[in-house]
Amino acid sequence: MSANMHVYQSIARALSDHQCDTVFGLMGDANLFMVDSFVRDCGGRFVPAAHEGSSVLMALAYAHVAGKTGVATVTHGPALTNCMTALTEGVRGHLPMVLIAGDTPVANPRHLQGIDQREVVKAAGAGFEQLRAPDTVCMDVARAFYRAQVERRPIVLNVPADFMWQETSHAARVLDVFTAPGGVAEGGILDEAIGMIASARRPLILAGAGAVAARDQLIKLADRLEAPLATTLKAKGLFQGHPYNIDIFGTLSTPAAYDLIAQSDCIVCFGTGLHDFTTDRGKLMTGKRIIQVDIEPTAIGGGLHPDAALVADAGRTADTIIYWLEEAEIPASGFTRDLDIERLTAHPVAADKTAKGCVNYVRALERLEEALPEERVLVTDGGRFMTEVWCRISAPGPQSFVVTANFGSIGLGLQEAIGAGVAAPDRPVAMFSGDGGFMMGGINEFNTAVRLGLDLIVIVANDSAYGAEHIQFLDRKMDPSLTEFHWPSFAGIARSLGGEGVEVRSDADLEEAIAVMEGRKGPLLIELHLDPHDVPRMRI
């Protein structure tokens, strides 16, 4: 049944037709009436950001944690160019979201804010859908949502401002997204893969983000083979609690786990592209059989070429392998029988050489791992400090772990923490950032978290420097002073923006901060003052 309304109302209604109840954004003259209609007419929630790029980042994290298509909206011209880094982050992270971007009026080609928005979006690697005419609103919105889900990347729906007050006939349109499990592995390559697995004496199961839904089947396969389980960074926490989970595979492994991986003779990889950090630039895969399983053919052979590749669903393939192992009565490998899992998962803690007035970073992380709420969402910014966080701070599972380093940028963490908090209002969000990253992006949005009343714990690692660059100067025995900064008090900034803030310069200060954390009433920032000469090196 169709109804007559204005285009801006039809767009808002179309969002509701797609079960969208939350939109992140920043209003301007090309989207303000649509946002108003979404809230007033459709009962939706609008989360206003301080910066356009932040709204995209919030929607990306929302998509990851909620398991839905994220939605954001901005106006035209500079509003869209402000989203470039965020859109690229979403593309590299394979996250489904729709960005409704206003465009300057078609009737005014010399508009001050006019640019070729299609070319901007293409440069970021995102998809582009044009709202073609008032009569095509429902189909154009449906196409944007469909593409976001099947292409697993941001899709920008471009809406000329002069369409908004034109009339249209609204008829709900939602396109089916075909999500049935993918194909079953079969044929000669499957036989070869099973032969390699059956003959392995030290097999290992590796899961990436593309295999998260197959957790139970992969555990059954590992138990049948008596093989250790490991994950890529993106799938961190997938096998939490399993007795033979050695955690992250690759450059972020513990020294003992790294040695175990090196000893293995067959690695069965599910849903991972096997990039350089996972394989330690190929070193960890030398001298062993590699079997790669992925539903996406383009994911196979990108980092290294496997010995056998199965373009198939991870869970169904694991079940198939188990079936044939049973049929052939292949005995278990016994690889896990003598493993010391505590030693395999314990990251070493170096001697404390921290200067007076600073806290030791690794020891502070170890204490925070004990003290942070257990059922948390973990969000990390990019930068030098994050590799130790990835290794030492646990997450309940991949959907509760948000990595904002898909594009190698810093300054994205706080914004994505807000999106995660909106997606999971019943759980606290713990967000780790460096000082440079917080100044670049977090300071813009901390008050947004305050306004939303989020249960957010922000830990800022402050070495008063751009640490990755600082250490490069030191390594070459050069003066690092250009990398050093005299920042204001981040804890003080947090308080001025309406939250709580605590500075930590000693172990005693850290215990006081933990006490404040346990009694927090809203967003809390804990500022760890660190010695730039005594911060662990990045492990990637």
pLDDT digits (tens, 9 = 90+) for 316-349: 999 999 999 999 999 999 999 989 999 999 998 8
SS3 state at 400: helix
Which among 30, 17, 250 has a CA at the least distance from the CA of 138? 17
SS3 state at 127: strand
Amino acid identity, position 122 = K
> Is the four-CA dihedral 491, 494, 498, 502 of positive or negative sign?
negative
Report the alpha-carbon distance of residue 99 to residue 87 in Å, rounded.
9
Q: Is the pLDDT of residue 465 over 80?
A: yes
> Is the four-CA dihedral 131, 93, 69, 172 of positive or negative sign?
positive
Q: Which pLDDT does position 533 carry in this prediction?
A: 82
Q: Which pLDDT does position 180 carry in this prediction?
A: 64
Q: Which element (helix H / strand E) includes 524?
A: strand 524-529
Q: Is the pLDDT of residue 71 over 80?
A: yes
φ, ψ of residue 93 in degrees (nearest 5): -90, 0
Q: Which pLDDT does position 1 carry in this prediction?
A: 58
Domains, in order of start, for the chain: 3-170 (3.40.50.970), 188-344 (3.40.50.1220), 350-529 (3.40.50.970)
Helix pair 52-66, 84-92: axis angle to 10 deg: 20
Helix, strand, coil share (%) of the chain residues, nearest 5: 40, 20, 40
Residue recorded with tokens 């009433």: 521
Rg over alpha carbons for the chain, rounded to the nearest Å, is 25
Report the alpha-carbon distance of residue 203 to residue 228 in Å, rounded.
8
SS3 state at 308: strand
Query: Which comes out higher in pLDDT, residue 484 or 360?
Result: 360
Report the alpha-carbon distance of residue 232 to residue 275 in Å, rounded.
10
Size (the chain), residues = 540
The confidence band for 219, taking pLDDT boundaries of 50, 70 and 90, is very high
Q: Is the pLDDT of residue 42 over 70?
A: yes
CA dihedral 14, 105, 83, 451 (to 10 degrees): -60
pLDDT in tens, 298-321: 888 877 889 999 999 999 999 999
> For the whole model, what pTM was predicted?
0.94
Report the alpha-carbon distance of residue 113 to residue 429 in Å, rounded.
37
Give the chain's count of helices (H) and strands (E): 21, 20
Report the alpha-carbon distance of residue 540 to residue 384 in Å, rounded.
10
Asked if residues 478 and 451 have their Cβ atoms less than 8 Å apart, the reply is: no
Could you tell me the two tokens for 225?
């083979």
Amino acid identity, position 472 = Q
